Amino acid sequence: MRYYSDMLNKVFDSVAELNKAETAEELKRQESTKKAAEQKKDREAVDAAIDHATKVLTDYIKKYGSYDILADLFPSFSAGDAVKLSYNPKKKPTNFNDTIERFLGDWK
């Protein structure tokens, strides 16, 4: 006699094979669900960090007028060669990536 698994849409020769395959599939699904939940939690942490970085960068630029991106990476550059982020009250960035992309857009 053959046994059909609704979960796997497969036919098995014995109940033992069917149960073993369904158990293995259930474990895979639980692992996948667990991994997705962990990824969502980590993504929320990254998003929170990006939001914080955006706020800090925006506050710094408002306070000091600009931010030299290359000053720390390439100290040998003169101030005129450095790329500066400056404050524009008419266009507010939505996140850190948008801020960087907006100021470095011509470099792509």
Residue 102 reports pLDDT greater than 70: no
Token pair of 31 as six digits: 């692992």
Q: What is the pLDDT of residues 49-81, one digit of tens each?
A: 988 988 888 888 788 777 766 665 655 555 554
- Can you give the pTM of this predicted structure? 0.52
What is the structure's pLDDT at 82?
A: 46
Comparison of pLDDT for 84 and 51, the residue scoring more: 51
Rg (CA), the chain: 27
Distances (CA, A) of 19 to 4, 6, 24, 62, 84: 11, 12, 9, 64, 63
CB 17 within 8 A of CB 1: no
Q: What is the mean pLDDT of the chain?
A: 78
* 85 pLDDT higher than 60: no
